[in-house]
Amino acid sequence: MIYLLLILLLGGGLAWASERWNPQAPRWVALGVVGFALLYLTVAVARLPVEQFSLLPAASQPDTWLAHTRIDWMPRFGIHFELALDGLSLTLVALTLLLGLIALSASWAEIEQRTGFFQANLLWSLTGVVGVFMALDLFLFFVFYEVMLVPMYLLIAIWGHEARSYASMKFFIFTQASGLLMLVSIVVLAYQHALQTGSFSFSYFDLLDHRLDPALAFWVMLGFFLAFTVKLPGFPFHTWLPDAHTQAPTAGSVLLAGILLKTGAYGLLRFAIPLFPEAAAEFAPVAMALGAAGIIYGAVLAFAQSDFKRLVAYSSVSHMGFILLGLYAWNSLAVQGAIVQMVAHGLSTAALFMIAGSLQQRMHTRDMGRMGGLWLNAPRMGACALFFTMASLGLPGLGNFVAEFLVLLGLFQVAPRMAVIAAVGLVTGAVYSLIMLQRSFQGPGDPERAVPDYGRRELATMLLMVALLIWLGVNPQPLLELTQPTVDSLLPGATP
């Protein structure tokens, strides 16, 4: 696993250096690096014994995970370079590398200056995210959690659009400040563990069964919750997201929507709930109320937007509410729905942001009022927009429908009123999604307007995401089986 991080980290340096030889070389180097990393992960997983996949439930025993690595780093303080993979981590790491390829495709013709540094930051963002999904030493997790912010900040600040300085600074301040809350919580948790055991440890496996005083546990859990909810982002901590998405280059928006937001959801599922089960259960009604509010609030604000990218950004706020509801519903169906939503939303929203970036590159505007009738000019792009709009609003047969159905089914068992509110959010989601499609691609067009349609590279990228969403909607069982043991271990009291 450490080799996977080294491939991406060193590959970023190589992509940066390759610009000295040829301005076109960095994109090919980055493509080769991400492709090789995905191949390495595939081969490494394929070499695991089939029986090992059945050993996941014993989360407190590192040797029962798919893979586990522990190297001394600062043993005096109980800090180790500890990485592990289970079904959940493997799914999200694979999604990260896949969306890395999609981000490269999105930036292929868009980025023309400082291409080496751009590709380096893209690869280093992937390094940080992969590290987050594999780190099981809480101090190491915090390091990766913060490190991934720097290259994303640079992607927005250097290659972003007109208000990039404001958007990048707002993104960095929100996420950095919330990350510091998590650091305080991590230190308090490790210190309390040391008081009881006589030695410091930041290992997830050591801290998982540690019990704090209930009052202290609530505040420590709240530090984790706020950090991860800001990154998710959940209502009302979402205000950095629309600006960051709107001003980021297309590849930055793909990474933000597809994987960086998922680190918040992953943190809630891996750390905030299992480390503090009693406090999390006590806080669950508040968390679910925030999730339900986010669904409605994000949908209403999306409906009010005229900027294509900003509308998609607010739709992400709405969709992330389903993840918050699913996680804190505290049963297996809802949590599985939240995991499927991470994957499906990562694909569908990344595709919508790629379409938004293509429109801005071709028309030099994000204003839907200046579009209209684009299907006449670019039918292949219009067909892709129709598919991913339908996916985003939860069309049966696609991955998003499976996710939202499982969340609502699990949520109804514990909080029927919240399920009704979330269902209303689905209706409002259909309204703003169809209006976006109507204002951009339908209606009277201008046959004189020259808007190039998708070429082979862009169409192939879109078809890859189309195939994955259809596969996830028609046959979600492999993903559910891969992640079910992890869900069972993280939520031992969950209702099957």
pTM of the complete model: 0.92
Q: Which residues, 6 or more positions from 288, have their beta carbon under 8 angstroms from its beta carbon?
A: 324, 325, 328, 329, 411, 415, 418
Quickly state the pLDDT bin for 162 (edges 50, 70, 90): confident
pLDDT number for residue 5: 93
pLDDT at 136 over 70: yes
Maximum C-alpha span of the chain: 76
pLDDT number for residue 364: 84
Find the range with the poorest average confidence among 40-54, 76-90, 127-141, 158-172: 40-54
pLDDT at 418 over 80: yes
Question: Which among 406, 433, 421 has a CA at the least distance from the CA of 323?
Answer: 406
CA distance 160 to 167: 9
Burial label, 460 (beta-carbon count in 10 A; 0-12, 13-18, 19+) = exposed
pLDDT number for residue 389: 92
- Top-confidence residue, 1 or 157: 157
**Cis, bond preceding 242 (omega within 30 deg of 0):** no
**Backbone torsions φ then ψ of 72, nearest 5 degrees:** -60, 135
| 61-113 pLDDT per residue, tens | 444 578 888 888 888 888 899 998 888 999 999 999 999 999 999 888 888 78
- Top-confidence residue, 49 or 337: 337
pLDDT number for residue 492: 64
| 467-489 pLDDT per residue, tens | 999 999 999 999 998 888 888 88
Average pLDDT, rounded, for the chain:
88
pLDDT number for residue 428: 85
The average pLDDT across 239-264 equals: 90
**Cis, bond preceding 444 (omega within 30 deg of 0):** no
pLDDT at 131 over 90: yes
pLDDT at 257 over 60: yes
| 425-460 pLDDT per residue, tens | 888 888 888 888 888 888 777 777 778 888 899 999
pLDDT number for residue 360: 87
pLDDT at 352 over 50: yes
pLDDT number for residue 411: 93
CA distance 491 to 277: 9
Quickly state the pLDDT bin for 50 (edges 50, 70, 90): low
pLDDT at 117 over 80: yes
Q: Are 182 and 268 in contact (CB under 8 A)?
A: no
Amino acid at 288: M
Q: Is the dihedral of CA 134, 317, 394, 385 positive or negative?
A: negative
pLDDT at 397 over 70: yes
Quickly state the pLDDT bin for 327 (edges 50, 70, 90): very high
